[in-house]
Chains A and B, each alone.
Chain A
Amino acid sequence: MKKVSFAHMGYSYLGFKQLLEEMGFEVIVPDNPNASTLDRGVQYAPEFACIPFKTVLGTYLEILDRGAEIIITSGGVGPCRAGLYGLLHEKILRNLGYEFDMCVFDPPLTGLWTFFRKLRKILKETNISWLAFIDIVRRAWKKLKLIDELEQLAINIRPYEVKKNDTTRTFNQCLKIVEKARSLYQLDNAQMECRQLLNDIPQDRSRRPLRIGIVGEIYVMLEPFMNLDIEKKLGEMGVIAYRSIYLTNYANSDILSHGTMDIRRIAHPYLNQFVGGHGQNSVGETILYAKNGFDGVIQLAPFTCIPEIVAKSILPKVSRDFGIPVLCLTIDEQTGSAGVETRLEAFIDLLCQRREQMEAKNNESLLFGY
């Protein structure tokens, strides 16, 4: 059987691994990206490609060295550059002398027939029926959803944890449980068990964590290595960091349909045009966070990401109009963990002071009436 691999993106590899394994492929699971992955990617990638491109290229180099024969990846509709990454990755790797098959899946709505043909080609390799395939997809999908749910739960619990690092440890334990579960029944059980485990973490509910929304480009948001584990960092600083994108809801809204229209409608007064990627979403979600009374917003963007640059130049205006502080973190291969930490700490200090001032103001007005 052919050896198949794919790019690493957050914890989604668990779902893809199961999907491909049950289809009968030999799966090469990519390791978590690390500094050396990035270094290898940077070496061969164009200088101004964004950091997801470089990391993914590094990952491909690693998995090809481990013997992968087919790489499965996603395409896109543009005008974000990510839609062409499959094409350029393939060209660069072939130029380096690697032999492999690259299978780029564009969103089905851009061409149902091509999507179907590519899928059929993959299925022919394995000789499984369409019916069996649907069942496999259903289970992998459920697994991905479960992982997203657990991530969300962990984010909500982390700021309250009594013992530092408890949540992260439990979450990793949960991932192992989820990895073992395969059938729908087992996944249901795993869901109950993991929820229980996470909720059982000793918590100090008297704390009042800040609430920060995270917006930005999908890959740096989902991949902990890229965003320097920002959710964990923020959580341990006592902040609930709501993330606007999870893989499964993104797949539902943007890959299988034409995007989240309500977010676009909210962004309308500021950015009245789809600019590719998550540019318009970043603007819309910032407004939504402001309206829901969040304390601040952090924008995560890879360096030279075009849609996020557009969003970044509009966000100051949104920030002024809605009175919500926005911190833009631009991430490239030079970004150091300590620098980001310092900036986050300063931002959080500001937000804490701001909250205190606002509360003092509110109390004053109450007393005045008295």
Chain B
Amino acid sequence: MSLRIGFPRALFFYSHFPFWQAYFNRLGIEIVTSPLTTKSILNNGSREAVADACIPIKLYHGHVMALRDKVDAIFIPRMIKINKHTTYCPKFLGLPDMVKGTLDKLPPIIDINVDISNNLWGLWSTCCGISEILGCSRRLSWSAYLEGKRYQKAYQKLLLKGYFPLQAMAKLEGKPIEKHTNSGKLNLAILGYPYQVHDSYISLDVIRKLIKMDVNVLTLEMIPANHLYRLSNNLPKRLFWHFSNLVLGAANYYTLHKKVDGIIHVTAFGCGPDAMVDKLMELEIREKSNGTISFMSLSIDEQTGDAGMATRLEAFIDMLHQRRQKK
């Protein structure tokens, strides 16, 4: 029987999973993801995790709990840096330690550092470390690494074409998935961290709701990351966090290109970096667009109700429609 390694469906799942899936599969290891977020997963997570953590972190704890009896080991990499400019949020940096400190009865945890800021070989050194832990040969690991890279590239391409992360992952596995065609009247940018926007349970399916309202949804995955990085660099000091730079860059991109009618920022209750990013976005968008682009920030927590969210979205969309007609 092959080894089964668990990969919680939260946080960096939405941006990095295809690489790790391909990598581990090539090594002959079965990779098991936790199910889609459900109420019980969120409840478990918020019961066990430290009270003032943000929702995504609580959710991560919940997903780890959903996996802990089913797998031989859980893969919780410590995401430190994936480029030389920025690091991840401190909660990502301490993630394996937080999980180990909070949850008990855990299977072994593979908590390897992912820090590719000052080497030329990208994730290869991390992969070396993993192959050492698992006892695989370097040669196998190398080919797995290449395969992972290829998958990740294909995944990014699909994202740029306009697929949402879960659709793109399904398509990579060969399922016939049609991407949503943009035919609505309004263009809205839904910005926020991928693990917040694309987890349909905690985002209360904001994307699907908007599509139903005949809105073209744009996300930050539809723009190349290095482009976003360049655009987020107009502040006197670059933000410290990887995802925040992407969000801010995307806000700048959509504001400058004036392709959208409004921007919605989806943020989690208690998210540290977002306290800064949200205010910066608000000020920047107002300054750059001279009030032509509407901005709304949706803060989501465990208690946010579906109906309340729908009302807010409807009101926002109505307002945008009226605005259009006036023009």
Q: Which residues of A contact B (CB under 8 A)?
A: 46-50, 75, 78-81, 83-84, 86-88, 91-92, 95, 104, 270-277, 279, 303-307, 309-317, 330
Closest residue to B80 on the A side, CB-wise?
A273
Q: How far is the CB of A317 from chain B (nearest CB, A)?
A: 4
Q: Is B94 in contact with A273, judged by CB distance below 8 angstroms?
A: yes
Closest residue to A318 on the B side, CB-wise?
B101
Chain B hits for A91, CB < 8 A = 279-280, 283
Q: Does B149 contact A (CB under 8 A)?
A: no
CA gap between A277 and B91 in the complex, in Å: 12
Q: How far is the CB of A322 from chain B (nearest CB, A)?
A: 13
Closest residue to A80 on the B side, CB-wise?
B90
CA gap between A314 and B102 in the complex, in Å: 7
Q: Does B11 contact A (CB under 8 A)?
A: no
B138-146, B219-227, B266-274: which one contacts chain A?
B266-274
Chain A hits for B93, CB < 8 A = 79, 273-276, 310
CA gap between A47 and B240 in the complex, in Å: 20
Q: Is A304 in contact with B101, judged by CB distance below 8 angstroms?
A: no
CA gap between A75 and B235 in the complex, in Å: 14
Q: A79-B241, A81-B272, A304-B275 are in contact. Are A314 and B52 (CB under 8 A)?
A: no
B87-122 interface (Cβ within 8 A of A): 87-91, 93-94, 97-98, 100-102, 113
CA gap between A317 and B101 in the complex, in Å: 6
Instruction: Choose one: A49, A270, A276, A311; the contact of B276 (CB below 8 Å).
Output: A49
Chain A hits for B271, CB < 8 A = 48
Q: Could you list 6 A-B pairs, sorted by A, with CB under 8 Å?
A: A48-B270, A79-B240, A270-B101, A277-B90, A304-B275, A314-B101
Instruction: Choose one: B50, B90, B280; the contact of A79 (CB below 8 Å).
Output: B90
Q: Does B53 contact A (CB under 8 A)?
A: yes
Q: Is B240 in contact with A313, judged by CB distance below 8 angstroms?
A: no
Q: How far is the CB of B162 from chain A (nearest CB, A)?
A: 32
Q: A49-B276, A272-B97, A310-B97 are in contact. Are A87 and B87 (CB under 8 A)?
A: no
Q: A79-B241, A273-B80 are in contact. Are A304 and B272 (CB under 8 A)?
A: yes
Closest residue to A75 on the B side, CB-wise?
B237
Closest residue to B50 on the A side, CB-wise?
A313
B58-105 interface (Cβ within 8 A of A): 78, 80, 87-91, 93-94, 97-98, 100-102
Chain B hits for A270, CB < 8 A = 97, 101
Interface hub of B88, B91, B270 (most chain A Cβ within 10 A): B91
Q: Is B275 in contact with A48, judged by CB distance below 8 angstroms?
A: yes
Q: Does B261 contact A (CB under 8 A)?
A: no
Q: Is B279 in contact with A304, judged by CB distance below 8 angstroms?
A: no
Chain A hits for B159, CB < 8 A = none
CA gap between A50 and B88 in the complex, in Å: 19
Per CB-CB distance, the 4 closest pairs between chain A and chain B, nearest first, are A78-B240, A310-B94, A48-B275, A313-B50
Q: A75-B237, A79-B240, A92-B279 are in contact. Are A306 and B97 (CB under 8 A)?
A: no
Q: How far is the CB of A335 from chain B (nearest CB, A)?
A: 13
Q: A273-B78, A279-B90, A306-B91 are in contact. Are A83 and B240 (CB under 8 A)?
A: yes
Beyond A79-B240, A273-B97, A312-B50, list 11 extra A-B contacts (CB 8 Å): A50-B275, A78-B241, A81-B272, A84-B237, A87-B235, A276-B90, A303-B52, A309-B272, A310-B90, A313-B53, A316-B102
Chain A hits for B91, CB < 8 A = 306, 309-310
CA gap between A363 and B314 in the complex, in Å: 72
Instruction: Choose one: A47, A92, A307; the contact of B275 (CB below 8 Å).
Output: A47
CA gap between A307 and B94 in the complex, in Å: 9
Q: A46-B276, A88-B280 are in contact. Are A307 and B90 (CB under 8 A)?
A: yes
B137-192 interface (Cβ within 8 A of A): none
Chain B hits for A46, CB < 8 A = 275-276, 278-279
Q: Is B87 in contact with A314, judged by CB distance below 8 angstroms?
A: no
Closest residue to B236 on the A side, CB-wise?
A87
Q: Is B52 in contact with A275, judged by CB distance below 8 angstroms?
A: no
Chain A hits for B269, CB < 8 A = 48
Q: Does B49 contact A (CB under 8 A)?
A: yes
Q: Does B228 contact A (CB under 8 A)?
A: no
Q: Is B278 in contact with A314, judged by CB distance below 8 angstroms?
A: no
Q: Is A81 in contact with B97, judged by CB distance below 8 angstroms?
A: no
Closest residue to B99 on the A side, CB-wise?
A313
Q: Is B274 in contact with A48, judged by CB distance below 8 angstroms?
A: yes
Q: How far is the CB of A100 from chain B (nearest CB, A)?
A: 15
CA gap between A163 and B96 in the complex, in Å: 50
Closest residue to A88 on the B side, CB-wise?
B276
Q: How far is the CB of A333 from chain B (nearest CB, A)?
A: 14
CA gap between A92 and B91 in the complex, in Å: 26
Q: Is B101 in contact with A306, judged by CB distance below 8 angstroms?
A: no
CA gap between A151 and B93 in the complex, in Å: 34
Q: A46-B275, A83-B240, A84-B237 are in contact. Are A309 and B53 (CB under 8 A)?
A: yes
CA gap between A87 and B244 in the complex, in Å: 15
Q: Does B204 contact A (CB under 8 A)?
A: no
Interface hub of A81, A83, A310 (most chain B Cβ within 10 A): A310
